[in-house]
Structure 1
Amino acid sequence: MIQRRRAPTTRLRRLAMELRQLREHSGLSREQIAEATEINRATLYRIETAQAKPQARTLRALLDVYGVPENRRNELVAILKAAGEESWLQGASDLPDQYATYIAFEQEAKGVLNYESLFFPGLLQTEAYARTAIPGGAPELPVDEVESRVAARMARQAPRNPPPIISVIIDEAVLHRRVGGPKIMREQLQRLLDDSRQPHITIQVIPFEAGVHPGMHGAFVILQQDSHDVVYIEARTTDLFLEGDNDVRGYNLMFKQLRAVAASPEETRNLVARVLANIK
């Protein structure tokens, strides 16, 4: 009987992506890294695709070549030490690698800054909303993959201790777009009101009256890690993970600007309540 290869753990996926990005930012090819470190090129490929867990000395050799500063080095070494720990994500091996990598970052984040222009944020979605939104946005997905993504979205919402500080800004259009029928939208809007009263969650809506604003270019998430931030942008064919200083600084500034034009949390609750009351 052929045994299916075990899915990589959450932390191993994250470590693989971090090492791949470090190499790409260095401008060096796998061939050049292999020559500099005497790490087999095939082994390097397997490490960067989470098919193999690097040994500690291999990781140190790579970090030396990439010139990784001490605080980031310590974080990556800690990820390696914990890379064997299993999580619910291992049971969702059919998730796209980039989505699984995003979840890995999200699970480690101490803070999440999320701007959405089309959908309610995944961390705040009801199961019924997610079950409608996922295939609606990607009609080509087979049923089993839709179910896997719905399950993953619900698992992402599991309580953590301490919980991450979540700050959400959404365009008012999200409140009015009928994803599913009235029942689904009523449940989702009530969920938003309930979540807005949680001490670790801040929700703001940018009202239509605000006019043009920086978020009209599209949604993004800033995942605040212990030593650095990661910006995530979801696209149709490929997702982007941005860690460069200029990118992170620019998106943090944009989120600050969006906060300034958005309604206050209390005004937002009033707006959501009005929309909820008008759903027939």
Structure 2
Amino acid sequence: MTMYNRVQPEFLSFGAEVKRLRKAAGFSQQTLADLVNVTRSYIAQVESGRTRCRREFAVRLDRALKSGTTLVEVWDELLESIKSDKYPEFFANFPKAEQSADMLRSYEDRVVYGLLQNEAYARVLLNDEEAVKSRIKRQEILYRNPPPSIIAVMDETVLYREVGGKVVMREQLERLLELSEMENVSVQVAPVRYIRNVWATFTIATLPDQRQVVYTAKAYGGETSTSPPHVAFVNKAMATLQAEALNVRDTRELIRKVIKERWT
């Protein structure tokens, strides 16, 4: 059994937020431990998601880190997500890994990668208002401090496949251009051709301790895995895709061309 399978994703996400705020404050684990009267090893366990602290401890952490009610709110939200998860069962563990990730690499062959969709585009694809809100909320990680690195490779046909009409497509592709200029976001387009060992869409989440979680789409929904053979196979596919895809500058030029010629 992998360590990820032994750690509840909710606690892993909470721990990642504690670690982010601690580093932003310039504190070592020992400094924070002294401020909240616990051992350094306990702070390490909280940050790695290996222990479930009480809400009162989240209050103490917020006070020590001068983070307002940030950690209390995160803790309340995570507890709520345990009781009622808004994501499909097959996707249940991955959003929590996504929120904790240092890097996310994704391949899409039919639609724009979810973290890069605007609201109008997402609304056409999803048939539930709560699902739309959940998708947009996921995108908050693009602007956190520090943000994860996002590498999105999309099949060229995504640029041409109409979703919601010309206005929706034009605004969505303009949004892609805007996001691709962010320091932490790379967007590449893969040409329409057979690419060896690429059979489905997927996302690879690399966690702060360098463990990796993979989500792969399937006809019935999808699968989340930490199996080393699965992770290795998808990493190899991603490397091949990036080698075959246009670089980020040429991708921007292609997107601009498609906007002008097809969606204007």
Counterpart of 1:239 in 2: which secondary structure? strand
Aligned residues: 205
1:204 aligns with 2:188: yes
Mark the CA change 1:134 to 1:168 in structure 2 (over 3 Å): closer, same or farther.
Answer: same
The answer (yes or no) to whether the contact 1:215–1:258 under 8 Å persists in 2 is no
Q: Does 1:133 align with 2:108?
A: no
Residues 59-93 of structure 1: CA deviation (Å, up to 9, x unaligned): xxxxxxxxxxxxxx958962533696123793774
Q: Is the 8 A contact 1:130 1:150 kept in 2?
A: yes
SS at match of 1:113: strand
Q: Secondary structure at the match of 1:226?
A: coil
State the secondary structure of the residue aligned to 2:87.
coil
The CA deviation string for residues 222-268 of structure 1, in whole angstroms up to 9 with x for no partner, is 00012310111133434312212222122111111111000010000
Matched, 1:251 2:234: yes
Does structure 1 residue 153 correspond to structure 2 residue 124?
Answer: no
Of the three residues 173, 185, 206, the one matched with 1:224 is 206
State the Cα deviation string for residues 99-137 of structure 1 (Å, max 9, x = none). Answer: 3422111001110000100110110000000000123xx
1:118 corresponds in structure 2 to: 110
SS of the residue 2:49 aligns to:
helix
| 1:80 aligned residue | 51
**1:18 matched residue in structure 2:** 5
Q: Say whether residues 1:176 and 2:166 are aligned partners.
A: no
**In 2, distance between residues paired with 1:75 and 1:242?**
23
Distance 1:233 1:165, change over 3 A: same
C-alpha distance in structure 2 between counterparts of 1:221 and 1:75, whole Å: 26
Q: Which of 103, 106, 127 is equivalent to 2:98?
A: 106
- Identity over the aligned pairs, expressed in percent? 31
The one-letter amino acid paired with 2:225 is L
Structure 1 residue 189 and structure 2 residue 179: aligned? no
- Determine whether 1:242 maps to 2:225: yes
Match for residue 53 of structure 1? none
Deviation per CA, 1:192-236: give whole Å up to 9, x if none.
00011000001100123xx21136511000000123101111334
Deviation at 1:178, TM superposition (A): 0.1
Does the CA-based 8 Å contact 2:188-2:248 persist in structure 1?
Answer: yes
Greater Cα offset, 197-206 or 235-244: 235-244
The 1:198–1:262 alpha-carbon spacing in structure 2 relative to 1, beyond 3 Å, is same
In the other structure, the counterpart of 2:246 is 263
Q: In structure 1, what residue type is equivalent to 2:243?
A: A
Q: Secondary structure at the match of 1:202?
A: strand
Cα 1:206–1:238 shift into 2, 3 Å:
closer
Instruction: Mark the CA change 1:249 to 1:94 in structure 2 (over 3 Å): closer, same or farther.
Output: closer
Mapped contact 1:232–1:239 kept (Cα < 8 A): yes
Supply the distance in 2 between the matched residues of 1:187 and 1:81 (Cα, whole angstroms). Answer: 43
2:195 partner letter? H
1:204 and 1:113, CA in 2 relative to 1: closer, same or farther beyond 3 A?
same
TM-score (norm 2): 0.69
**Where does structure 1 lack aligned partners over 5 or more consecutive residues?**
1-16, 23-46, 51-72, 136-145
Cα deviation, residue 173, structure 1? 0.6
When the two chains are superposed, the root-mean-square deviation of aligned CA atoms in Å is 3.0
The residue correspondences of 1:17-56 to structure 2 (distance < 5 A) are 18-19=5-6
Could you tell me which amino acid in structure 1 is paired with residue 5 of structure 2? E
Do the aligned partners of 2:91 and 2:224 also contact (CA within 8 Å) in 1?
no
What letter is aligned with 2:234? Y
